[in-house]
Amino acid sequence: MGGLAAKPLFRMALAIPLAGVGVLAGQQAGPRPWALLVTAALIVGLAQQTLP
Amino acid sequence: MIIMITRARVSGCFGSPVVAGAVLVLSAIGAAALTGALLGLLGAALEPGMRALLALAAASAVAVGAVSRPVPWQLDRETDTDWLGYEDWRTAAYNGVALGLGFTTRIGFWLFYLVPLTAFVVADPVLGAAGYAAFAVSRVGGSALLAAAGIWIDGGITRARLVADLVAGLALGALLTVLIPLM
């Protein structure tokens, strides 16, 4: 999975529908940039605990 | 006495790891809040259309980068090991500032780029500062808490990167719904 996840074609095939879901979610929930900021900040901060 | 707090490398200052941890976290929050406030101020200084255009260009660049490679563009380095030599409050403070800024060391995840990008898009220095402060609490506060609990995370970056990339894809899509109406 790690090797596959590094392939650009696989990443693009995953990214396009994901971004589409994000657009739909944004339209449904209404645009709230501060909520995106806080969500991204909290998740990336936690993920960075795994940095070597 | 040098006490290593996970990847943050914090000296015990005033002989206390608790004080060192507090200095570390507060320095990180201060540096992060300042960065977020400046980005929010920069966003507020621009007309909404120009702000949206610049943010869209940056988001497109991040999307292209994230599709082409799993490891983000970053300064591939840790905090300066020379700071360990101080063995006083400066070790904690300098590490806190470096980690709170985020981009001066490895960022590890494309999702990180959503933090400065959305801080710019909110176009409000207070909200930008608060969002960046949330990053510092999560990043550095998390490290300090894990260290205090004696928990060492070894590995797991591949799985974390998968989750973070999924969130980044969703967030970039959602950001489009914020930017398009501004143009």
User: Residues A38-45: what's their mean pLDDT?
Assistant: 98
Q: Closest approach of chain B CAs to the CA of A17, in angstroms?
A: 9
Q: How many cross-chain Cβ pairs, A to B, lie less than 8 Å apart?
A: 170
Contacts of B114 in chain A (CB under 8 A): 36-37, 40, 44
Min CA distance, A6 vs chain B (Å)?
6
What pLDDT is stored for residue B37 in this prediction? 98
Mean of the pLDDT values across residues B33-57?
Answer: 98
**pLDDT at residue A6 greater than cutoff 90:** no
Q: Report d(CA B183, CA A30) in Å as an integer.
A: 17
Cβ pair A45:B134 closer than 8 A: yes
- Residue B155: band (very low, low, confident or very high) from pLDDT cuts 50, 70, 90: confident
pLDDT per residue as tens digits for the range B47-70? 999 999 999 999 999 999 999 999
B111 → closest Cβ in A33, A40, A52: A40
Q: Are B173 and A26 in contact (CB under 8 A)?
A: yes
More confident residue, B131 or B83: B131
- Cβ density class B17-52: b for 16+ within 10 Å, e for less: beebbebbbbbbbbbbbbbbbbbbbbbeeeeeeebb
pTM of the shown model? 0.92
Residue in chain B lying closest to A21 (CA) = B170
Residue-level pLDDT at B42 = 98
